[in-house]
Chains A and B, each alone.
Chain A
Amino acid sequence: MTTTEPRATTPAPPASVEPRRPRRRRTLAPYVYLAPAMTLFTLFLALPIGYAVYLSLRTVKVSGLGLGSGARQEVWAGFSNYSRALGDPEFLASVGRVALYGLVLVPTMLGLALLFALLLDAKRTGVKGFSRVSIFLPYAVPSVIASLLWGFLYLPRVSPFEYVAESLGLPTADVLSSNVILFAIANIGLWGGVGFNMIVIYTALKAIPQELYEAARLDGATERGIAWRIKIPIVAPSLILTFLFSMIATLQVFAEPTTLRPLTNTISTTWSPLMKVYRDAFTRDDIYSAAATSVVIALATFVLSFGFLRLVQRRAFAQENG
């Protein structure tokens, strides 16, 4: 009864507005939800990266003596910053050092992390909580502090190790000398990194259903056999993840060598690629070539990470997909 009357007096508007409103809401809604993330992403990731790329294509040209205002001018540099970065023997040497550092550090660190995780997971381990915390604790120590602590332990005259070795008549070695400095730095990374990786692997181990172990034991598998045949293959994805993180961290090693540098002659200001970026930007005041080197490092990290993932993906995740 009432339905026909309003329709006659106010015909179109309600009918046409009503269905349109929800449609507009539907189209706007995703953007509203995305806005905070997009804003943060743009402000704190995309823009800085864009600015770094822009800077890497610029350079400062000085005229004459370069004194007084107006003597410096920012100009386009094309790819000259890039060609200089890639052709710089110091940069290549730093890449070589870091590659070796990674070869030493990553397998040792992940091997120890896996070993500790398996030990913690094994049935007979006592004082689990305490062991877990004490292995994890170094990860909570900032790497600068860790490097200072280790630096004091490395310096022969102030090191308690040296003191003990000397009083016992044992031979002492200078760990800051050029042959072993790489291992001394890797040791700090190892000390700080094992705990974190162990927790990641240990968490994955905890998620393995107990039935698998029971079945294995019924079939007569030993603890070692279970670890080797069941646990390690199942936590392989975690191992890949930790390997990826460690590889990226290796490419970005900075705090440890920078903190140790004043204590020894054997660490140059371009020891690692990021140290070279820092030196160029802040010691040499050449933010442009520093930006170019950063872009190169970022691209290399990207290529290595995704290349590695592609390589292992099929094999590692095959069993999950059946």
Chain B
Amino acid sequence: MRLHTAMKTAAVVAATAMLAAGCGGGSEGDGGSAADGPVELTFWTWAPGMEETVAEWNAANPDIQVTVNKQDGGDPAITKLLTAIKAGSGAPDLMQTEYQKIPTLVAADALADLSDVLPEDLADRYADGTWESVTLGSDAVYGVPQDSGPMQFYYRADIFEQLGLEVPETWDEYAQVAEQLHTADPSKYLGTFSANDAGWFTGLAQQAGASWWGIEGDSWSVDIDSEPTQKVAEYWGGLVEQGVIDNKPMYTPEWNAALNDGSQVGWLSAIWAPGVLEGNAPDTAGKWAMAPMPQWEAGDTATGNWGGSATSVTSQSEHPEQAAEFIAWMNGSQEGVNALVEYGSLYPADLDAQGEALAEPPAFFSQQADFYDIAAETAQGVQPFTYGPNVNVAYSAYNDEFGKATEARTADAFLAAVEAMQTATVDDLKNAGFSVAE
């Protein structure tokens, strides 16, 4: 991504401000830590196993004590953070930031630039695409990647075997298997199209080659209503219209029950799926298997991302230096990454530490010895994707428009939903005064 003057200037200004703040804070902090005891940092997160990971750090670092403040989940936590930023106080020092939220948070001036306080060679530990999502292509660094969510296909191996179904390798095969399965047993579905999970659909569009936002010169471009996304929408609309794929949202008590009793036979999900299945469908232990995503072209290895977060320091933190030290340990050292995997079963973004930390398959998939080998292969195929400053608007438009489309159950309605998402997203950018390339 090219670097532009406006962004450069912004980055330089931010960096200078940080330096000034860093110097002031540093000298104060040095004097303070002796007199007032340890630096106290608060950390808003909803990732599993964070308390245990932080406990390890706290035991080893009496001078920098981190307190985990468990959050409900991505959207409410971000809402709380944005409100605190607007109010001028009340934000934590450290914040779990999902990749798609980072541009929004940077635009709201909620995140501190860590480029001067992080170890210099830290960037080398991450895939370029992952690192770009915390820099937004600028010189600033708005967080350190913690985990990523490359998507795979999860399916009930026992039911596939029982019904003599082949694991689909292309989307054409997926459609055939969905039909075979639903014909063999009308109570069963190979999956559901969820109008509540915009991140899931984004991942599917990403696999097909979509990138919904982009930077052209000093303007944003929005490219939701384009060929790859239309292709994905039409495909799923067709399956829902045919009735071979369910149209109920995911993450409802009903969906959990369907996973648990074998009515939902497959799930297009991401690397963190084992944890969700373990929690929501405990009766199915040992019955699932994971395979790479079905492909649009046979032989490809493309996939998308669903989920994954970085850890950032907020612009209200008075101790960015100490906060950065903690983040670098947690997300970018063998010790920290081992803890993330051990306690939270996260799929670490740190490639250097990944190998050692992921030696064993997750407990819920203990019969699939090559689980993390397949995962590592699929992770290579994550397609580039740029998020924009109003992901929240596009996502809420997704909820509303695809809610209507899944109820209508026609492929045309799915295409109309994509078009409506594009309009809502562009209108919002223009209305806020962003310059938008047509």
> Taking the nearest CB of chain A, how far is it from the CB of B291, in angstroms?
27
A63: CB under 8 A from chain B? yes
Contact A69 B13 (CB under 8 A): yes
Contact A287 B107 (CB under 8 A): no
Residues of A266-322 at the interface with B, using a CB-CB cut-off of 8 Å, are 266-270, 279, 282-287
Residues of A236-285 at the interface with B, using a CB-CB cut-off of 8 Å, are 262-270, 279, 282-285
Contact A67 B254 (CB under 8 A): no
Nearest residue (CB) in B for A282 is: B79
Contact B252 A263 (CB under 8 A): yes
Contact A67 B389 (CB under 8 A): yes
Measured between alpha carbons, how far is A66 from B388 in the docked complex, in Å?
10
Contact B432 A66 (CB under 8 A): yes
Q: Which residues of the partner chain A approach B403 to less than 8 Å between Cβ atoms?
A: 265-268
A103: CB under 8 A from chain B? no
Contact B107 A265 (CB under 8 A): no
Measured between alpha carbons, how far is A262 from B255 in the docked complex, in Å?
11
Q: Which residues of the partner chain A approach B136 to less than 8 Å between Cβ atoms?
A: 67
Give B99-110 as 1s and 0s: 1 = Cβ < 8 Å from A's Cβ atoms. Answer: 000011011110
Measured between alpha carbons, how far is A267 from B17 in the docked complex, in Å?
45
Interface of B is mostly: helix
> Taking the nearest CB of chain A, how far is it from the CB of B387, in angstroms?
12
Q: CB within 8 A of A61: which of B258, B389, B433?
A: B433
B253: CB under 8 A from chain A? yes
Given contacts A269-B399, A269-B400, A283-B392, contact A155 B109 (CB under 8 A): no
Measured between alpha carbons, how far is A171 from B140 in the docked complex, in Å?
61
Given contacts A62-B433, A66-B432, A68-B109, contact A265 B406 (CB under 8 A): yes
Interface range on chain A: under 10, 10 to 19, 20 to 34, or 35 or more? 35 or more
Measured between alpha carbons, how far is A158 from B258 in the docked complex, in Å?
10
Q: CB within 8 A of A65: which of B86, B220, B251, B404?
A: B220
Q: Which residues of the partner chain A approach B4 to less than 8 Å between Cβ atoms?
A: 65
B283: CB under 8 A from chain A? no
Interface of A is mostly: loop
Give A4-27 as 1s and 0s: 1 = Cβ < 8 Å from B's Cβ atoms. Answer: 000000000000000000000000
> Taking the nearest CB of chain A, how far is it from the CB of B129, in angstroms?
19
Give B22-49 as 1s and 0s: 1 = Cβ < 8 Å from A's Cβ atoms. Answer: 0000000000000000000000000000
| Residues of chain A whose beta carbon lies under 8 Å from any beta carbon of chain B | 60-72, 84, 151-152, 155-158, 177-178, 262-270, 279, 282-287
| Residues of chain B whose beta carbon lies under 8 Å from any beta carbon of chain A | 4, 6-7, 10-11, 13-14, 17, 75, 79, 82-83, 86, 103-104, 106-109, 136, 138, 140, 195-196, 215, 218-220, 247-249, 251-254, 257-258, 263, 315, 389-390, 392-393, 396, 399-400, 402-404, 406-407, 428, 431-435
Extra inter-chain contacts (18) besides given A65-B435, A157-B253, CB under 8 Å? A62-B432, A63-B433, A64-B435, A66-B433, A68-B13, A69-B13, A69-B315, A72-B109, A158-B254, A262-B251, A265-B402, A265-B407, A269-B396, A269-B399, A282-B79, A283-B393, A284-B393, A285-B82
